[in-house]
Structure 1
Amino acid sequence: MKKPLVGAVFTALLLGATALPAAAVSNEAPASDQRATDRSTAAAAPGTKAKAVTFAGTVALSNCSGSVVRVPSSQPTDRALVLSNGHCLETGFPGPGQVIVDRPSSRSFTLLNASGGNAGTVRASKIAYGTMTDTDLSLYELTSTYRDIESRFGIKALDLDAAHPQAGRAITVASGYWKRMYKCNIDGFAYRLKEGRWTWKDSVRYTSPCQVIGGTSGSPVIDDATGKVVAVNNTINESGQRCTDNNPCEVDENGNVTVRRSIGYAQQTYTVVPCVGTGNKIDLNRPGCTLPKPAVAAAEQHHRSPALR
């Protein structure tokens, strides 16, 4: 296969890793523009002034990108969360229907400063949540609090937007792995995005300037006008194939399939906000939380609830 492109999922494309996504890293940077660029190729929403999007708060994993994030209720003394893709987990790709919660992890992340320089290293205590069902995201709980990170490194977490993103908005995909930014707009949303064995719901579709590559998986998608994270980058249709690994297709409400070659996608993150409870803990039973639950818990709930049968 050709060298990896973004995201989605798939083993043989990854160099130097096992059972990790194609979206993960290539050992080679793109020939041009490996370093960060801040091209203003997309305008902010009408009537707003775009914020300066930097690398501060983004992280580099061993094979992907990510970011330190907080929700509106997060407190300075809470252990911080790192957002990336489910397919970037060190445990390998979660299978369809698989949800990982509270699994110990000692994974380390390189924290970046505003210019993309190495600010230091932070470490996970556990995988708080991870799945590739309905969405493609992972959340690591760190050993450090938000206050620790700000005090030690001078870095503030990125805010997760609690609202559904809007079509037409100018966005930046900030890759901590490549220290490179991709700027485009939200073109729209895919009702269902199918790639190989996986299906994702209500995915963000980019306009064509965001030609994301291997290693950008897990990058935060930042709304240029608000500076908030609205999605997590995860895949691109590499060669125009239909619904295969590395070639996601869109499926509408009537089952019609559309293939958009060289178009990239991300998974929305506003759904995470209702699932974060006291102490920054992931609580899948909180009101409004729609993230997939582990199969055992879901089966137990189904058994107890006749209305769900």
Structure 2
Amino acid sequence: MTSRFAGAAQVFAAVGVALAALSGVAPASHAQTASPQSLPADRTAPAAERAAQVDFTGIVALDNCSGSLVRGPRTADTDAALVLTNGHCLETGMPQAGEVLVDRPSTRTFTLLDSSGQRTLGTLRATRIEYATMTDTDVALYRLDTSYARLAERYGTRALRLSPSRPRVGTDIRVVSGYWRRIYSCKIDGIVDRLREAQWTWRDSIRYTSSCDTIGGTSGSPIVDAATGRVVGINNTGNENGERCTLNNPCEIVDGRVTVRPGADYGQQTYQLARCLGRGNDVVLTAKGCTLPRPPAR
């Protein structure tokens, strides 16, 4: 599916990781990491976040995808930490269209990286799937068995902050993959009204400029605003073969018109998550301003 780790891509990923382990060097990125360009600072962000240097701080690797430690505007240091990845990266399989998972038990583990991406700090463990869906967006949020304060004390790391604002076209971004230990550098090329892939449809998807040529294993990577260091989205798919609206070949739908962009790569916005995270890091689907899909009524 959209992580592009199935079939031949999965074999390629496994070989690449094995070679990297033997050589001690992470596989080279398709796009070199560039210095953040000068953009207006997010004036709502703390001064320390402005003109942020994006690295692997807070980044995790899954067995098949990438992910990140994240926190919302109302998150406290004593709250149980959260890991963000894609809904299609769930260990239980991909949710069906219209399916929303809330508060499901999980013992998923994640590999926490240091800021350079070259060293493993430790293994993190989930207690449950806080929220997951592939309807309107492609997201999974795991709750860990430890707090942000404890992670800072033990590993000297911090979580990335979710931006409560929509990103703009032209924003300089970094797509940070824990699986591949690569940072892709590009800009937001466009916002797509609807993006369809097989049975799933996503809204307000982020399309990248061509230098973010993401590959299998990058699914779940946070999309980071290079100026503020805040997470504005999550990488999830790309059109691999030029097909129309099929698995691994999403198509754009704007005003009922279908457009296929061979080789284009996409992510999903995450401002909804920031607006839905309440006290205690709970996803509150009834909160004012929360537009995340809810479980079907029974």
TM beyond 0.5: yes
* Residues in 2 aligned to 1:215 and 1:246: alpha-carbon distance in whole angstroms: 13
Q: Deviations over 1:34-80 (max 9, x none)?
A: 15786217634258974211001000001000000001110010001
Q: Secondary structure at the match of 1:26?
A: helix
Partners of 1:44 and 1:169 within 8 A in 2 = no
Partners of 1:9 and 1:93 within 8 A in 2 = no
Matches within 5 A, 1:64-75: 64-75=65-76
Partners of 2:3 and 2:218 within 8 A in 1 = no
In the alignment, which residue of structure 2 is the partner of 1:180? 182
Q: Deviations over 1:21-44 (max 9, x none)?
A: xxxx83133999715786217634
In the alignment, which residue of structure 2 is the partner of 1:109? 110
In the comparison of the two structures, how many residue pairs are matched?
283
* Residues in 2 aligned to 1:97 and 1:82: alpha-carbon distance in whole angstroms: 23
TM-score, normalised via structure 1 length? 0.86
Q: Deviations over 1:145-195 (max 9, x none)?
A: 000111000000000011000110110000001001110000110000000
Closer, same or farther: CA 243–289 of 1 in aligned 2, 3 Å = same
Closer, same or farther: CA 283–260 of 1 in aligned 2, 3 Å = same
* Residues in 2 aligned to 1:275 and 1:224: alpha-carbon distance in whole angstroms: 24
Unpaired stretches in structure 2, ≥5 consecutive residues = 21-25, 43-49
The one-letter amino acid of 2:39's match is A
Report whether the alignment pairs 1:134 with 2:121: no
Q: Deviations over 1:69-107 (max 9, x none)?
A: 001110010001100000000010000000001000011
TM-score, normalised via structure 2 length? 0.89
The Cα of 1:13 is off from its aligned counterpart by 5.7
* Residues in 2 aligned to 1:183 and 1:50: alpha-carbon distance in whole angstroms: 15
Q: Secondary structure at the match of 1:66?
A: strand
Match of 2:204 among 198, 202, 224: 202
In the alignment, which residue of structure 1 is the partner of 2:39? 45
In the alignment, which residue of structure 1 is the partner of 2:193? 191
In the alignment, which residue of structure 1 is the partner of 2:271? 270
Closer, same or farther: CA 196–44 of 1 in aligned 2, 3 Å = farther
Q: Identity across aligned pairs (percent)?
A: 51
* Residues in 2 aligned to 1:261 and 1:146: alpha-carbon distance in whole angstroms: 41
Judge which range, 37-46 or 211-220, deviates more. 37-46
Judge which range, 178-187 or 31-40, deviates more. 31-40
The one-letter amino acid of 2:240's match is E
* Residues in 2 aligned to 1:178 and 1:292: alpha-carbon distance in whole angstroms: 30
Q: Give the CA RMSD over aligned residues.
A: 2.3
Judge which range, 38-47 or 100-109, deviates more. 38-47
Q: Secondary structure at the match of 1:210?
A: coil
Matches within 5 A, 1:1-309: 7-8=2-3, 12=7, 15=10, 26-29=13-16, 34-35=27-28, 39-40=33-34, 43-45=37-39, 50-116=51-117, 117-252=119-254, 254-296=255-297
The one-letter amino acid of 2:275's match is P
Partners of 1:9 and 1:87 within 8 A in 2 = no
* Residues in 1 aligned to 2:2 and 2:121: alpha-carbon distance in whole angstroms: 26
* Residues in 2 aligned to 1:194 and 1:7: alpha-carbon distance in whole angstroms: 11
Q: Secondary structure at the match of 2:15?
A: coil
Q: Secondary structure at the match of 1:28?
A: helix
The Cα of 1:276 is off from its aligned counterpart by 1.0
